[in-house]
């Protein structure tokens, strides 16, 4: 792969996840604290992305596969989605914010799969994809530090929807940059309409069925991390310090939370290639499943703050060892002619349905355990809130260890080298 192509693909991934990471971490406290939305309203704003992940990838994939070059479709989606984010920053009422985020989500959701497919189309060796994809995680990290820097240099900018302005500008930049991406013409050939139904047939395998059910439940509980964590850490920072003279604030919360993505990079680049050939897929998935209840238990403890902040790394480890390894497992057990549909099934169950229902469940729990008494340093009963996903993910870990026995899950060293 020549350097020009490598740089363009890495830049595409960097901006793709900079856009998402720029608003995803700090939007919830902005909606609830600054704009005064209820937990239910803020949850609905987040949920539209997951609804879009259920619907738009199929539509977007069909358009890019049959009618227009992928890079053109990416350009239009990001330009329109960026404009929606910039408009969202001007909204102060719930209906307007929901509408703008819905438009952005419908534009952004199909690009998650299409950036991957464009990269794979131009890679001679699929193993090179990991190097390209890691720049997406780097983009998420840089977005967090950029937001912290902006808030430090411009006090009060957080009150004006800074995360939406930054992500919107990045999306517009990516839209313009997409015209410079390598030409990726439509295939103009339909996929097997029965492939997805054949992928459903994999559920007849008891281990695969258990795997999919656990993937669904685990994904629903991830929203207890994505939605309230930044606000929770900021509240802890009002009464505790990470170390003397330093705590979590509205200004630095986004950069502190990049600990999770840094751990994700370490997991993908170092731990996974080292451990997976030695321990196999089953044990690797088990590490991922166990990481989340441990993190939620530490969140429920709520102190010391340094331990709570350090536990953010468990999110990155859990994400790598469960979701990345899940994709490897599905690719290994699915017949070659339905692998794409099997991956689509996993994406639908997790990124789409799991995240959507998880967001609804999380916002209900947050609303149920809101503290209204005057004088309380906390807005919610955080201990009870985080013990709920802790218990559910412990159940998932036990069910996985007892029920997952697929011998085909063993992976050779060269598969992940």
The whole-number pLDDT of residue 411 equals 44
The whole-number pLDDT of residue 376 equals 83
* CA pseudo-torsion sign 382, 384, 385, 389: positive
Q: How far apart are the first and last CA of the chain?
A: 18
Is 1-184's fold the same as 193-417's? yes
Per-residue tens of pLDDT for the chain, all 417 residues = 688 999 999 999 999 999 999 999 899 999 998 999 999 999 999 999 999 988 875 677 667 667 889 899 999 999 999 999 999 999 999 999 999 999 999 999 989 888 888 888 888 876 677 788 889 999 999 999 999 999 988 887 778 899 999 999 999 999 999 999 999 888 665 555 566 677 888 899 899 999 999 999 999 999 999 999 999 999 999 999 999 999 999 999 999 999 999 998 998 888 888 888 888 889 999 999 999 999 999 999 999 999 999 999 999 999 889 988 888 888 788 887 777 678 778 888 998 899 999 999 999 999 999 998 877 889 999 999 999 999 999 999 999 999 898 666 554 334 444
User: With respect to CATH, is domain 193-417 assigned 1.10.3720.10?
Assistant: no
Residue 154 CB contacts under 8 Å (≥ 6 apart), including other chains: 162
The CB-side HSE value for 322 (13 A sphere, CA atoms) comes to: 28
User: HEC states along 258-285?
Assistant: CHHHHHHHHHHHHHHHHHHHHHHHHHHH
Using CB atoms within 10 Å of the CB of residue 162, give its burial: 0 to 12 exposed, 13 to 18 middle, 19+ buried.
Answer: buried
Query: What does the domain layout of the chain look like in residue ranges?
Result: 1-184, 193-417
Residue 204 CB contacts under 8 Å (≥ 6 apart), including other chains: none
Task: For residue 109, give both structure tokens.
Answer: 């959701």
* Separation of CA 43 from chain center: 15
CATH number of 1-184: 1.20.1250.20
User: Whose CA is closest to 169, among 242, 286, 85?
Assistant: 85
Q: What is the DSSP letter of 379?
A: S
The whole-number pLDDT of residue 57 equals 59
The whole-number pLDDT of residue 48 equals 93
């Amino acid at each position: 792969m020549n350097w020009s192509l490598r740089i363009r693909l890495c830049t595409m991934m960097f901006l793709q996840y900079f856009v998402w990471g720029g608003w995803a971490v700090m939007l919830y406290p902005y909606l609830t604290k600054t704009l005064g939305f209820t937990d239910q309203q803020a949850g609905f704003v987040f949920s539209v992305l997951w609804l879009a992940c259920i619907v738009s990838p199929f539509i977007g994939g069909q358009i890019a596969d049959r009618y227009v070059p992928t890079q053109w479709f990416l350009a239009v989606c990001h330009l329109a989605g960026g404009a929606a984010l910039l408009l969202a920053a001007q909204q102060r009422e719930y209906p307007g914010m929901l509408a703008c985020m819905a438009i952005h989500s419908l534009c952004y959701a199909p690009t998650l799969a299409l950036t991957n497919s464009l990269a794979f189309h131009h890679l001679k060796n699929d193993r090179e994809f990991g190097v390209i994809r890691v720049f997406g995680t780097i983009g998420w990290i840089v977005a967090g530090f950029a937001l912290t820097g902006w808030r430090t240099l411009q006090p009060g900018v957080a009150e004006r929807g800074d995360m939406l302005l930054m992500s919107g500008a990045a999306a517009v930049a990516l839209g313009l940059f997409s015209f410079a991406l390598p030409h990726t013409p439509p295939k103009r050939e339909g996929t097997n309409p029965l492939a997805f139904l054949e992928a459903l047939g994999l559920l007849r395998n008891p281990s695969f069925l258990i795997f999919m059910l656990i993937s669904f439940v685990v994904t629903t509980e991830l929203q207890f991390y994505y939605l309230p964590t930044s606000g929770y850490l900021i509240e802890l920072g009002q009464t505790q310090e990470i170390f003397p003279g330093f705590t979590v604030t509205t200004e630095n919360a986004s950069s502190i939370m990049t600990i999770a993505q840094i751990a994700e990079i370490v997991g993908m680049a170092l731990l996974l290639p080292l451990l997976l050939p030695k321990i196999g897929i089953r044990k690797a998935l088990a590490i991922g499943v166990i990481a989340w209840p441990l993190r939620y238990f530490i969140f429920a403890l709520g102190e010391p703050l340094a331990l709570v902040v350090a536990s953010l790394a468990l999110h990155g480890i859990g994400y790598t060892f469960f979701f990345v390894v899940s994709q490897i497992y599905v690719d290994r057990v699915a017949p070659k002619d339905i692998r794409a549909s099997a991956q689509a099934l996993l994406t639908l169950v997790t990124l789409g349905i799991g995240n959507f229902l998880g967001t609804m469940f999380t916002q209900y729990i947050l609303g149920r355990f809101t503290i209204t008494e005057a004088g309380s340093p906390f807005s919610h009963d955080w201990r009870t809130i985080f013990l709920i996903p802790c218990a559910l993910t412990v159940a998932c870990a036990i069910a996985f260890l007892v029920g997952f026995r697929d011998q085909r899950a063993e992976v050779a060293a060269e598969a992940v080298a």
